[in-house]
Copies of this chain bind each other. A is one copy, B any other.
Amino acid sequence: MTGRPFLQIPGPALVPERVARAMSQSLIDHRGPEFASLLKEVLDGLKNVFQTTGGEIVLYPGSGTGAWEACLVNTLSPGDRVLGCVNGHFSDRFCQTASAHGMTVETLEVPYGVGVPADLVEEHLRADKKREIKAVLALQSETSTGVVSDIAAVRQAMDRAGHPALLLVDVVSSLASIDFRFDEWRVDAALTGPQKGLMLPPGLAILAVGPKALKANQSAKCPRFFWDWAPVLERNARGEFPYTPATALLFGLRESLAMLAEEGLPNVFLRHNRMAEACRRAVEAMGLKLLVKKRHECSNTVTAVRMPDGFDSDAYLAHAEKSLGIPFGPGLGKVKGKIFRIGHLGSLNELELLAALGAVEMTLKSFGVNNPLGAGLAAAESYFLQTAANTGQGL
């Protein structure tokens, strides 16, 4: 394959070359003074990205799955009741993690493509008269369906119900892409990986942890050693880790946090919104339907597209991969074979998105779908031109 590869799965995204270069630095002593300074920069930068001053950051070599586990075993005990908001494959897996650790998960399920219903959360919590539910689990962006949920509204629902449960939020495909306010929304723990908005290769579990969660840790009875955040926080205070950290990723993280700071978080959110809307308009102009019906529930990092009737999306993706070498995300769980997902997160620009949309147009056509060539691209171009002023571009 000549030219540069495209990778339009909803994460990992391609790593910017600034970050890749930063990661290739010679390793340093993870217990030395240079490391301590690296760690401080990274923790401070992550606090900015989580929009928290009161929370603590906890990092592990790991993955989003590991971050779920870390979040749960540090704050809860076997037998605890938790309320899991399930609207897709990954929210389901978050709940499975809780079950695997002996918690009793009560799920609040809504169809794929719909956001977490804050009113039902409120209702469910009100019904828990004895206040036995220890935590509410929710995803800000369900990567499997491209739905974004209103976490502020969930917080308000919990407040209205006067319920003391912890609010544990997965921001894997939203952090550093979609506005997330840890302090303002009083989230108790939020978790993510590095390979989405943070523009790194995968390999970390990243948490922001608030005071209530830190306190819950002291009474949490889940057995834990690697994931125990108490020694991490204690050793971080001395500029090190209780285990060997993934130094190369931390080099990269320092750089990507610097890039986000240079751009400014509000601009980062605006950019993702513009890319996402261009993608959505293009997809609709191709004659396709989005999985998410309500525009304000569409995630700005991933767009789930319904495969036209009579076509299997898995077969289509294999065709796209084979013919143009471009991967998109498959339908997972209940929508397997029925949707495909276009990732538009991380460090992506208008031209790269046009290229990816061109790939969709061409591969759909050659797969047998009767879509008009160029229509989606024209829609995206048109939207980019209309909104160029917002970006300070002279387009």
Contact = CB atoms under 8 A, between A and B. Distances in A.
B61 A243 contact: no
Interface string A384-395: 110010000111
A111 interface: no
B245 A394 contact: no
B24 A7 contact: no
A281 to B, nearest CB: 12
Interface string A13-27: 111110011011111
A66 B15 CA distance: 26
Interface stretch (A39-47, A163-171, A212-220, A322-330): A322-330
A326 B32 CA distance: 10
A78 B223 contact: yes
Contacts of A29: 7, 9, 321, 327
Contacts of A363: 395
A358 B366 contact: no
A322 B100 CA distance: 48
Nearest to A376: B374
A17 B96 CA distance: 40
A294 interface: no
Interface in A358-386: 358-359, 361-363, 365-366, 372-375, 377-379, 381-382, 384-385
A308 to B, nearest CB: 18
A4 interface: yes
A127 interface: no
A222 interface: yes
A365 B361 CA distance: 22
A242 B65 contact: yes
B366 A322 contact: no
A185 interface: no
Interface string A107-125: 0000000000000000000
A244 interface: yes
Interface in A228-250: 228, 242-249
Given A61-B202, A246-B203, A354 B365 contact: no
B26 A7 contact: yes
Nearest to A248: B201
A97 to B, nearest CB: 5
Contacts of A365: 381, 385
A210 interface: no
A233 to B, nearest CB: 16
Contacts of A5: 26, 28
A373 B382 contact: yes
A252 B319 CA distance: 29
A15 B248 CA distance: 10
15 contacts: A2-B271, A7-B29, A14-B26, A23-B248, A61-B66, A61-B203, A66-B243, A69-B226, A202-B245, A202-B246, A248-B248, A319-B394, A322-B394, A324-B395, A374-B378
Interface of A: 1-7, 9, 11-17, 20-21, 23-33, 60-66, 68-69, 78, 96-97, 100-102, 193, 195, 201-205, 222-226, 228, 242-249, 263, 271, 319, 321-324, 326-327, 330, 347-352, 354-356, 358-359, 361-363, 365-366, 372-375, 377-379, 381-382, 384-385, 388, 393-395
